[in-house]
Amino acid sequence: MTDHSQHSFRPDINGLRTWAVLAVVLYHFRVAGFGGGFVGVDVFFVISGYLMTGIVVKGLAQGNFSTIGFYTARARRIVPALLALCVALLAFGWFFLLPPDYKMLGTHSVTAITFWSNLRFWDEAGYFDSASHEKWLLHTWSLSVEWQFYLLLPLLLSVVWKLRPGRQAQVWCISVMLAASLAASVWVTPQDATQAFYGLHTRAWEMLVGAMVFLFAPKAILIRVSMVLEATGLLMIIAAVSVFDSQTPWPGYSALVPVVGAALVLIAQRRNSVFTGTALAQWVGDRSYSIYLWHWPMVVALVYINALANPAFVVGGVLMTLSLAELSFRLIETPARTWLQHLKTSNNLTMFGVSVGLVSLTGVAIWQLNGVAGRFAPDAELAAAEALNVNPRKCISPDGTAVQPCHYGGPVTKLILLGDSHASAKATAVEATLPSKQAGFEEWSYAACPMILGVTPTPGTFTAKRKNYHCDAYVENAITILKTIDPAVPVLIATRASLALHGLNETDQEQPPEFFIRNPVQKATPQSIQDLQQAYVNTICTIGAVRKVYLLRPIPEMAVDIPKMISRKLALGLDAHYGLPLPAYKERNRDAWAMQDMAVKQCGAIIVDPTPILCDHDVCKATDNARPIYADDDHLSEFGNKLIRIPLDQQIN
């Protein structure tokens, strides 16, 4: 597809690859002005659909199309460089990745090289979520989507051709699939953004647009018309890169902008365009696949050392990407494709099978061995393992439609622990305060729910993106069940209260409040805060009308993943001391504390305050003797839970 000696070579397509890959690379390196650079992948999809449909339809028309030959050719193009990337990362990881990170890399290397990583990432987290930015092979999701498309396209078109030879039947078939996939994309995107982003069924239409361009594009176009088409298409791509960002629901109907733009450039067929035909554009286009493969590990490396915001490191990362891409193109891509092309198809398939099998077995072994402990200093590995040192009982309600109690301790219920995942994280600390073997308590928890009647997730927030989320209904159900329980049994409410009032604090960008009462806002306002505070007080008063209510002060939110940061510093021999300045904690939780104080005054609630244990007069600590007390950025680990047992025991028992 990049053989310049072939008469059918299209320099405009090669140049369009340059536009696509540069948009993606500059977006991932967080270069200003490229907030929508992820649309470069959509451009790649259109190009792939155009080229692959051309290969299949031309082969069917000439009567010499081979499905196995098609698959083998695609593997020669994609697999060698991807194999090299996976092997290089697994070797790198042995020396530099702590067990939890190495275990994740082992898993992802298997899904990447077997082309189902999009399904794996779909199940893990959203593409734009901060947790995804430390996955070394996250970018292989698009290769998996393309490969799945490659598997199905020739089979489907071959069947249609046998039933009714000729392009007309192909057009009808592709049109129906395009319409169905586009409809699915538009429908699913607002309902389940992660599924829409990673799913073949919501992405196939982009490749099928390219297919339709192949089937309908005229062989020759007037120069003036082609110039207008190309200019319009490139302007649409530029607009998508400039206007869209990670908050834009994607793909959905918004993806029509870069997709149609790419289609117009293909239709224009401007072989000698100053925008796509220059020597530099051709050089980058030839290496676009290798650039795409190697750029993301460079980005993740900068995330690991917290240097992605440093311009000097970003420039170095881009230069390193280009250098590795050049080596990959010259030493792996080109030689492998040339050499493998002269081997029999059976030999090609055997080599691919053995190579993929070896990498997959290595990845599985790393996963089975939990990342192969013992490669780093014990304190570093202990710090990394704290991410897994969490409440072993999974008691959080899956969808909030019903309260699902978890009982701890003895048979006599002495307390109800009500809240979100922060409540669940503290359950064992509460269990340690039980006064006797007969005493027990129940945990009622629902992730992210602030336990406020009448709340609605703010559109665009991570809570709103969850399927079938029912916080308000959960609180109503909890209150209804509480009415059937002995009034002598008190309730301890523990939530990440500032999440509802002010949104996430894990990113540099200001986030919208996670919930609202009357009107959604993209930035907390005095009115939005007051609405939530009053609704909270009303809820506490409703519960407290017949029973005692304890309110746990919010746990300090560190804004960075503590086990990862501390363990990596220890592994590198760096100072691992870290803490949140106390003024920052007070500023973040000022409105949450005020809300709880209102409930104390108006409803008779009782405050349980662990902050004297977790914070001194200057800082809220993230570690205890260099060991993290958090499992992530805001949930205490089981080790950290030990610290708050004293205030729980003193203030409740």
Task: Dump pLDDT digits (tens) for 537-576.
Answer: 999 999 999 999 999 999 999 988 999 999 998 988 888 8
- The pLDDT of residue 3 is 56
Alpha-carbon distance of 444 to 430, in angstroms, equals 13
CA distance 112 to 144: 7
Q: Has residue 564 been placed in a domain? A: no
Query: Mean pLDDT for the chain?
Result: 92
Tell me the residue range of the domain where 131 lies. 11-371
For residue 218, with 0-12 CB atoms within 10 Å meaning exposed, 13-18 middle and 19 or more buried, which class applies?
Answer: exposed
Q: For residues 337 and 346, what is the distance between their CA atoms, to the nearest angstrom?
A: 15
103 belongs to a structural domain = yes
Say whether both 61 and 208 belong to one domain: yes
Number of domains in the chain: 2
Q: Are residues 455 and 367 in the same domain?
A: no
Residues 290 and 417 both lie in one domain: no
**What percentage of the chain reaches a pLDDT higher than 70?**
98
**pLDDT by residue (tens digit) across 258-302?**
999 999 999 999 988 999 999 999 999 999 999 999 999 999 999
Please name the residues in contact with 4: beta carbons below 8 A apart, sequence gap of 6 or more.
11, 282
Specify if 385 maps to a domain.
no
Q: Is 404 in the same domain as 365?
A: no
Same domain, 160 and 100: yes
The length of the chain, given as a count of residues: 653
Q: Specify whether 508 is located in the same domain as 550.
A: yes
Residue 2 resides in a domain: no
Nearest to 141 by CA among 32, 238, 24: 24
| Residue 579 tokens, joined | 């803490």
CATH number for 603: 3.40.50
Q: Kindly state the tokens that stand for 647.
A: 């205030």
The answer, yes or no, to whether residue 194 has pLDDT greater than 80, is: yes
Answer yes or no: do 194 and 289 share one domain.
Answer: yes
In this predicted model, what pLDDT tens digit does every residue of 155-169 receive, in sequence order?
A: 999 999 998 988 888
Residues 379 and 633: their CA atoms lie apart, in Å, by 19
- The amino acid occupying position 403 is V
Q: Are residues 398 and 319 in the same domain?
A: no
Q: pLDDT, tens digit, for every residue of 88-121? A: 999 999 999 999 999 999 999 999 999 999 999 9
Nearest 10 degrees: Cα torsion 591, 597, 601, 602: 50
Q: Are residues 268 and 408 in the same domain?
A: no
Sign of the C-alpha dihedral computed for residues 566, 568, 571 and 577 taken in this order: negative
* Residue 34 lies inside a defined structural domain of this protein: yes
CA distance 2 to 71: 18
Q: Given 371, 405, 431, which residue is the final one in a domain?
A: 371
Work out the average pLDDT over 524-535: 95
User: Which of these, 372, 295, 222, lies nearest to 24 by C-alpha position?
Assistant: 295
Q: What is the pLDDT of residues 12-44, one digit of tens each?
A: 999 999 999 999 999 999 999 999 999 999 999
Q: Is the pLDDT of residue 4 over 70?
A: no
Whether residues 296 and 260 share a domain: the answer is: yes
- The DSSP code sequence of 599-630 is HHHHH--EEE--HHHHB-SSEEESEETTEESB
Tell me which of 340, 371, 402 is where a domain ends. 371
Check whether residue 347 and residue 446 sit in a common domain.
no
* Contact indicator for 543, 586 with CB cutoff of 8 Å: no
- Residue 569, domain member (yes or no): no
> Is residue 70 included in any domain, yes or no?
yes
User: Do 116 and 166 have their domain in common?
Assistant: yes
CA atoms within a 13 Å half-sphere pointing along the CA-CB vector of 270: 25
Residue 334 lies in a domain: yes
Q: Is the pLDDT of residue 125 over 80?
A: no
pLDDT of res. 6:
55
Q: Which residues contact residue 240 at a Cβ distance below 8 angstroms, ignoring those fewer than 6 apart?
A: 36, 39, 254, 257, 258, 261
Q: Are 348 and 340 in contact (CB under 8 A)?
A: yes
